[in-house]
Amino acid sequence: MITAKGKSILKGIAIGKIKFLAKKQAEIKENAADPAAELKRYEDARALASEQLQALYDKAALEAGEEHAAIFEIHMMMLEDDDYVEAITELINSDGKTAEFAVKTTGENFAETFASMDDEYMKARAADVRDISGRMVNILTGADTGPADSDEPFIIVAEDLAPSETVQLDKSKLLGFVTRLGSTNSHTAILARNMNIPALIGTEISEDWDGRMAIIDGYNSCIYIDPTEELLRTLDEKRVRDLEQRAMLQQLKGQPNVTLDGRTINLYANIGNVSDVGMVLDNDAGGIGLFRSEFIYLHSATFPTEDEQFAIYKKVAEMMGGKKVIIRTLDIGADKQADYFNLPKEENPALGYRAIRICLMQHDIFKAQIRAILRAAAYGKVSIMFPMIISVSEVKQAKAILEECRKELLAEGKEIGEVEIGIMIETPAAVMVADELAEEVEFFSIGTNDLTQYTLAIDRQNPKLDPFYDSHHPAVLRLIEMTVQAGHRHNCWVGICGELGADPTLTETFLRMGLDELSVNPGGILSLRKIIRETDLGGGKAAATPAEQEEKPAETPEPESVEQTKKKKFSLFGKGKK
């Protein structure tokens, strides 16, 4: 038996025969006699590549959700990039190169340029350029682009897998995959998690494994080649138990999110577009706690109009049938860029011109979105949430623009609805003035991804800093607890919509803090519901909150209950409740 270690993308067990994906090198001729003919070949290949990418987008959206399918829209945009196209056509027309040589050379040059950049997000684009260039080269040369069809389920082993290759694999036959290269934060890894495929990366592999029986053990981050009968039996039992547990989770649909001692919490879902709503409903979420509206902008070649946005928001509100839908206003910038915004290059984009800062500076963009949200609110229970807030003045400005839009729409005779107003708590600054902020809004939603980044002064896009990145850092948990307490002092409900909300090791802690809501990826709803329903906060079994972990003098009174806290009308800074 051979054992090889790696990094696990998804905890789970996969058992089956290995299909080694050995990518064939395309035969590429360098020079061509007829540039016009080569240019025609290139144009035809680009058109076919675009069709293939659209099909991949549709497949990924169905299997993993619109948000995670967005990579293929980015690939389609890259195909039409002026600089990329010009570099290829120049090699064909001026240098007399074949279409495949021009595409391959241009792809390599662009990939090297991206890879040499300091920004980690831009570095990651190198893989995307290689993917689309490789696709066109394969079309032009007729090279094999994937594994042969198989009559039986298989485990893919490969040097690496591009997002397009991952989606093309027959999910009904794919048991899991193992690669030597890759990153836990790559698009391929994200797609694998959302497609619920056990996978390992960073594993030393061998072509000799092809056709041999293997087990991917996602719990122990390894793959066993030619496992013993005993190990095979043991891990197959574990696999069956996993499937049974998933089936049991389905029985929790329709059940309340209530602890054994009667504490209730709302479980909502995060989405990126209309196509994600099906997963929200299928997993029995109580509402949508985060509609990432920026994906509407990222999927568009120009600024989406008010009517285009209204149609999307209206459809989501109607599909949710009266359940809460919280729409986060435009959160573009930093690692989320759209060319038509013409945002300036910044040394520290995470600290730069982004989110609410753009909206408060460019009212035309902001008002189009707010008007669309107000109109959609006539068709469901819609809330609006402003991101990256750091001061009361920003909230007041946003609310003033909201009121301006409301009056305009009424004057125009447009039908609108009432919206609940909330903000994202994503910076230590927002936490420190949370009492004042809570007087201006009806809810807080804590964005733990950015809150962790800004609290620890660590760029979450930089993999070199992974050893220092600790989302469970006491400072982060203490800031979350402070936010909950401040919100409740002013009758402002508080939720979490960042990655920490789905962390099962923190569910009890969040319940004890008094959080009112957790919003997670749709697939995490039922597993969190199970944890909540098995938790007993009254028996003293739950983990202490950060504040309770601190050593207190003997005379310190018992902590007040959440209900007592909610009833208080004062602020720590002496300002009365409005």
Tell me what pLDDT residue 248 has: 86
Tell me what pLDDT residue 65 has: 65
Asked if pLDDT for residue 83 goes beyond 90, the answer is: no
Read off the tokens for 350: 């995470």
**Residues contacting 566, CB < 8 A, separation 6+:** 488, 489, 491
Q: Answer yes or no: 187 catalytic.
A: yes
Residue 382 CA to residue 322 CA, distance in Å, equals 9
Question: Quick check: helix, strand or coil at residue 16?
Answer: strand
Read off the tokens for 401: 């623009």
The values of phi and psi at residue 508, to 5°, are -60, -40
Spatial contact of 231 and 482, defined as CB atoms under 8 Å apart: no
- The catalytic residue among 359, 405, 492, 497 is 497
- The catalytic residue among 68, 75, 187, 299 is 187
More confident residue, 119 or 419: 419
Residue 174 CA to residue 157 CA, distance in Å, equals 11
Residue % of the chain over a pLDDT of 90? 50
Read off the DSSP letter of residue 207.
G
**Tens-digit pLDDT profile for residues 207-225:** 889 899 999 998 999 999 9
Tell me what pLDDT residue 469 has: 84
- 274 confidence band (pLDDT: 50, 70, 90): confident
Cβ contacts of 29-36, under 8 Å, gap ≥ 24? 29/98, 29/100, 29/101, 30/97, 30/98, 30/101, 31/96, 31/97, 31/98, 31/101, 32/92, 32/96, 32/97, 32/98, 32/99, 33/96, 35/92, 35/93, 35/96
* CA distances (Å), origin 499, targets 99, 258, 354, 452, 548: 44, 22, 20, 10, 24
Rounded-to-10 torsion of CA 322, 326, 329, 331: -140
* CA distances (Å), origin 514, targets 162, 448, 467, 469: 42, 16, 30, 26
Q: How many residues are recorded in the chain?
A: 578
- 440 confidence band (pLDDT: 50, 70, 90): very high
- 234 confidence band (pLDDT: 50, 70, 90): very high
In sequence order, what are the beta bridge partners of 425?
A: 446
Tell me what pLDDT residue 563 has: 38
**Tens-digit pLDDT profile for residues 469-492:** 888 999 999 999 999 999 999 999
Strand order in the sheet with 7-8: 2-5, 222-225, 213-217, 13-21, 154-158, 174-179, 199-201, 7-8
- Please state the rounded mean pLDDT for residues 257-286: 90
Reference 513, options 565, 452, 439; nearest CA is: 565
Among 286-300, 333-347, 413-427, name the most confident range: 413-427
The values of phi and psi at residue 533, to 5°, are -70, -15
- Please state the rounded mean pLDDT for residues 357-383: 95
Q: What's the mean pLDDT when you consider all of the chain?
A: 84
More confident residue, 46 or 568: 46
| Angle at which helices 66-79 and 120-141 cross, to 10° | 70
> Lowest-pLDDT range, 103-112, 232-241, 252-261, 552-561?
552-561
Tell me what pLDDT residue 542 has: 41
Q: Answer yes or no: 473 catalytic.
A: no
Q: Which amino acid is at 37?
A: A
